[in-house]
Structure 1
Amino acid sequence: MTDEQTGWTAWFDGAANPNPGSRGIGGLLKGPRGERIEISSAIGSGTSNEAEYAALIAVLDAACEAGIQELTVYGDSQLVIKQVNGEWLINSKSLVPMCQTVLALMADIPNVIIRWIPRAENGEADALSKKAIGGDAEGPVDRKIWTTPTEIGKAYRLSGIAMGKRMDSAKLRAGGKPTQLAIDTHCALVVANHFGHDVFWHRTNLPAALKAAQLLWG
């Protein structure tokens, strides 16, 4: 296990505006003697999951270039971290080679650990990823894509309450709020406002996730 007194610590994050859209990656590596390596770069168009993978690859690549032997990497993408650690299958073909690149880079670092942290604890990497694409990664909400469970449920003759129960069963929502799984799979979008946050749900991704969980038909 990495000793954070002698090893390095890193954080990564990726952003897309909209999703898919213009992508930015952010990374930060800190060494035991005060060393600091920052990564902030625009990487063209694609999805936020691809951006998350690209950010992790950039961090690991920087670690290899710097000859780092011990490294703990933190990120807020449950999807990327669980896929890299072999806990989740990779359903998107575009992510397979990216995961393979991550594993190859990890093999070049003698002692490396990748761990999940909540988004609130990943502020510096988040800011670097958003800086790369010019500010807030969420951007304006396209209401043709993002809406309410009630509106989505109409196509399936379900009320908002009935949709909500299915979302809870699929672990996409808990306590009336989207879970990290819902955010990572792009079923939910959380946007800050002057009073807190607004939550929007994806018109196609949410039904697809519920169908995959055998909780929605049609």
Structure 2
Amino acid sequence: MPVAPATADTWRLWIDGTAAPNPGRIGLGVVLESPDGQRHENAVRATEGCNNVAELQALLHGLSLALDAGARAIAIYSDSDFVVRHVGGDGHTDVAPLEALVRRARTAMAAFAVATLHWIPRHRNGAADRLARQAIGLAPKPALRPVSRKRRR
């Protein structure tokens, strides 16, 4: 996967998937932002599976939406360490269904002239998380409270 800095024509994609229970019903959350700042939100109920399947399916769904919208350069943001490591080539799984989804995701990313995959902390992926939970009828998670940096004495 080519790694290059974001340019004026780079689309941005935030993805999240959830399974409830785990494994269970799967919800996918996708936020696609065009270079001019237009945001498209998508919540999809998918088949059953585990959280890692949900995260990979969210990536595949988001990449499909981006291609359909005409994106050629894309920066992808996920709070899933599994997705970032495995699709990025730093992880390995012997679970056949997961390996098949990882291969599909790599193939889908190769359709872009530039595709970068970035891990972000969960609190920076709130919109995609909200959509994934909404897709299977779950309420949004409560907002994280800021951590105080004051020293205790």
Q: Which category of TM-score, normalised to the shorter sequence, fits these structures?
A: 0.7 to 0.9
Q: Choose the corresponding residue for 1:24, options 23, 27, 46.
A: 27
Does the alignment pair 1:77 with 2:80? yes
What is the TM-score normalised by the length of structure 2? 0.85
**Runs (4+) off by over 3 Å:** none
Structure 1 Cα separation of the partners of residues 102 and 84 of structure 2: 10
Q: Does 1:97 align with 2:100?
A: yes
Q: Are the aligned partners of 1:17 and 1:137 in contact in 2 as well (CA < 8 Å)?
A: no
Measured in 1, the distance between the counterparts of 2:5 and 2:16 equals 21
Higher helix share: 1
For 1:107, the aligned partner's letter is A
Radius of gyration: which is bigger?
1
**Matching of residue 116 in structure 1 with residue 119 in structure 2:** yes
Structure 1 alignment gaps of length 5 or more: 139-191, 196-218
Q: Is the 8 A contact 1:2 1:70 kept in 2?
A: no
Gapped runs of 5+ residues in structure 2? 146-153
After TM superposition, the structure 1 = structure 2 runs for residues 135-214 of structure 1, keeping only pairs within 5 Å, are 135-136=138-139
Distance 1:121 1:137 in 2: 14
Give 2:6's match in structure 1, choosing from 3, 20, 36. Answer: 3
AA partner of residue 62 (structure 1): L
* 1:22-48 deviation digits (Å, cap 9, x = unpaired): 110000010121222222110121111
Partners of 2:132 and 2:10 lie apart in 1 by 24
Return the offset for 1:3: 2.0
CA–CA distance in structure 2, aligned partners of residues 26 and 99 of structure 1 = 18
Q: TM-score, with normalisation over the residues of structure 1?
A: 0.61
Shift of 1:4: 4.9
C-alpha contact (below 8 Å) 1:64/1:105 kept by paired residues: no
The answer on whether the counterparts of 2:130 and 2:140 sit within 8 Å (CA) in structure 1 is: no
Q: CA RMSD in A?
A: 1.8
Instruction: State percent identity of aligned pairs.
Output: 34
Task: Determine if contact 1:2/1:71 at 8 Å carries over to the other structure.
Answer: no
SS in 2 for 1:9: strand
Residues paired across the two proteins, number? 140
Residues in 2 aligned to 1:124 and 1:4: alpha-carbon distance in whole angstroms = 23
SS in 1 for 2:29: strand
